[in-house]
């Protein structure tokens, strides 16, 4: 408790804002939805996992900071139950739909967030792909350019784009590579970016299903090393593509000059290993050059990449959020592990993070 007390005292000078919330079950997804709502979901294997849409603390919407806030300052607006673990959840832009994925197969579940007079999130359909049974869970991304689309696949040779409401397949990849995917994203309405667990990137043109695929080789490293793809606004031309490995290596790639890394560095993480279940790297949408890293322990590291080169040297974090480690009530259980984080869409230094102990934090650090 002494460490927790010390951290609480430090919070008064380290944080511009700090909000804490205790979920009934831990989540590995934090997704912004319509009306600045936040969606979370359980990932337990026993079934009955809640999908919740939360109303964030009022101070996240206010122009004036109100400092530290008490616990339970999120409000549950509506919810539903998933019979399977929710490993990924995405809001479909310009709709009231959510899509989720998780074991035991590569199917995608579609959910309807009910109207204002109801507090139910209900299941409406399931998108099933050929030979999806027994495959790893699907990585998903959404867009509403021509229509509400979901990009989904568990391996490089099983990538599809499906029109969500009609469940109509509008694209099928042609790769013959069975490598498992670690992440997928749209680079706009005409192209998609795929990342394999070994770090290889592939870019495909949706308009040319049989056309060539741009492949970016994986960085050198042991075969046991696993990689994840950073959530990025690369399609807007404001950030390169970020990849993070289970050893803590970060690489930044400009897809216009994909033959060599734009920059690389090693995150300051404790005892990097082969585990990669919760690895996450994401760009700050309103803070140029800044990204956040989590999944190695109970902390979230923020880095400023603007001074990075291609040397791969260890980088000094701009800020480290230790609240999930030091801000709890203690106990004899396993140390909390950060399972997910995401940035606020508009507030430059505001980050949401969740951990394996069910804690959900919203924090905005003080600029030195």
CA–CA dist 195, 253 (Å, integer): 12
- pLDDT tens digits, one per residue of 307-344: 998 888 999 999 999 989 876 544 446 789 999 999 99
On whether both 11 and 159 belong to a single domain, the answer is no
Q: pTM for this structure?
A: 0.91
Percent of the chain with pLDDT over 70: 87
Is residue 122 a contact partner of residue 80, using CB atoms and an 8 Å limit? yes
Q: Is the pLDDT of residue 222 over 90?
A: no
CATH number at residue 67: 2.130.10.10
Greatest Cα pair distance in the chain = 61
CA–CA dist 205, 212 (Å, integer): 8
Average pLDDT over residues 286-297: 93
Domain boundary among 194, 218, 242: 218
Helix (H) or strand (E) segment spanning residue 9? helix 2-14
- pLDDT tens digits, one per residue of 8-35: 676 778 888 888 899 999 999 999 998 8
Location of structure tokens 């109509």? 168
On whether both 81 and 170 belong to a single domain, the answer is yes
Q: What is the CA radius of gyration of the chain?
A: 20
Average pLDDT over residues 73-90: 93
- pLDDT tens digits, one per residue of 144-162: 988 999 999 999 989 999 9
On whether both 158 and 292 belong to a single domain, the answer is no
Helix (H) or strand (E) segment spanning residue 241? strand 241-245
Of 43-52, 155-164, 216-225, 302-311, minimum mean pLDDT range: 216-225
Q: Which of 260, 261, 253, 270 is nearest to 325 (CA)?
A: 270
pLDDT for the residue numbered 310: 85
- pLDDT tens digits, one per residue of 102-146: 999 999 999 999 866 688 999 999 999 877 677 899 999 999 988
Is residue 29 a contact partner of residue 41, using CB atoms and an 8 Å limit? yes
CA–CA dist 356, 137 (Å, integer): 20
On whether both 23 and 34 belong to a single domain, the answer is no
pLDDT for the residue numbered 45: 86
On whether both 149 and 22 belong to a single domain, the answer is no
Domain boundary among 165, 189, 218: 218
Mean pLDDT of the chain: 86
On whether both 38 and 159 belong to a single domain, the answer is yes
Q: Give the domain extent around 171.
A: 29-218
Q: Is the pLDDT of residue 89 over 80?
A: yes
Within 10 A of 75 (CB to CB), how many other CB atoms are there? 12
Average pLDDT over residues 81-94: 96
* Total of domains in the chain: 2
pLDDT for the residue numbered 235: 47
CA–CA dist 43, 85 (Å, integer): 4
Residue 98 sits at φ, ψ, to 5 deg, of -125, 150
On whether both 74 and 139 belong to a single domain, the answer is yes
On whether both 140 and 243 belong to a single domain, the answer is no
Domain boundary among 218, 247, 268: 218
CA–CA dist 33, 352 (Å, integer): 14
CA–CA dist 101, 122 (Å, integer): 15
Helix (H) or strand (E) segment spanning residue 201? strand 201-205
On whether both 178 and 241 belong to a single domain, the answer is no
């Amino acid at each position: 408790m002494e460490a927790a007390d010390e951290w609480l005292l430090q919070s008064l000078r380290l944080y511009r804002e700090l909000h804490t919330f205790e979920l009934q079950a831990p989540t590995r997804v934090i997704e912004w939805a319509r009306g600045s709502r936040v969606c979370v979901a359980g990932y337990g294997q026993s079934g009955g996992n809640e999908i919740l849409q939360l109303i964030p603390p009022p101070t996240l919407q206010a122009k004036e900071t109100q400092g530290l806030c008490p616990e339970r300052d999120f409000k549950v607006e509506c919810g539903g139950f998933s019979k399977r673990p929710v490993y990924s959840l995405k809001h479909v832009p310009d709709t009231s739909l959510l899509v989720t994925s998780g074991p035991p197969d590569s199917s995608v579940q579609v959910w309807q967030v009910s109207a204002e007079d109801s507090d139910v999130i209900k299941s409406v359909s399931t998108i099933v792909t050929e030979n999806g049974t027994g495959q790893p869970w699907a990585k998903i991304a959404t867009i509403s350019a021509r229509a509400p689309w979901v990009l989904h696949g568990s391996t490089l040779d099983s990538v599809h784009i499906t029109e969500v409401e009609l469940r109509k397949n509008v694209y099928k990849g042609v790769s013959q590579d069975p490598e498992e995917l670690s992440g997928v994203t749209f680079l706009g309405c005409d192209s998609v970016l795929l990342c394999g667990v070994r770090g290889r990137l592939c870019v495909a043109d949706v308009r040319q299903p049989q056309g060539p695929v741009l492949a970016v080789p994986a960085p050198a490293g042991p075969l046991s090393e696993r990689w994840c793809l950073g959530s990025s606004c690369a399609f807007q031309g404001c950030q390169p593509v970020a990849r993070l490995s289970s050893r803590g290596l970060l690489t930044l790639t400009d897809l216009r000059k994909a033959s060599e890394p734009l920059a690389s560095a090693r995150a300051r993480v404790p005892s990097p290993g082969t585990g990669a279940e919760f690895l996450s790297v994401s760009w700050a949408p309103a803070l140029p050059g800044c990204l956040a890293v989590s999944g190695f322990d109970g902390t979230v590291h923020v880095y400023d990449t603007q001074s990075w080169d291609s040397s791969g040297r260890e980088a000094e974090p701009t800020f480290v959020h230790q609240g999930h480690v030091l801000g709890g009530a203690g106990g004899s259980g396993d140390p909390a592990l950060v399972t997910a984080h995401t940035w606020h869409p508009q507030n430059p230094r505001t980050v949401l993070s969740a951990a394996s102990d069910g804690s959900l934090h919203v924090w905005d650090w003080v600029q030195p």
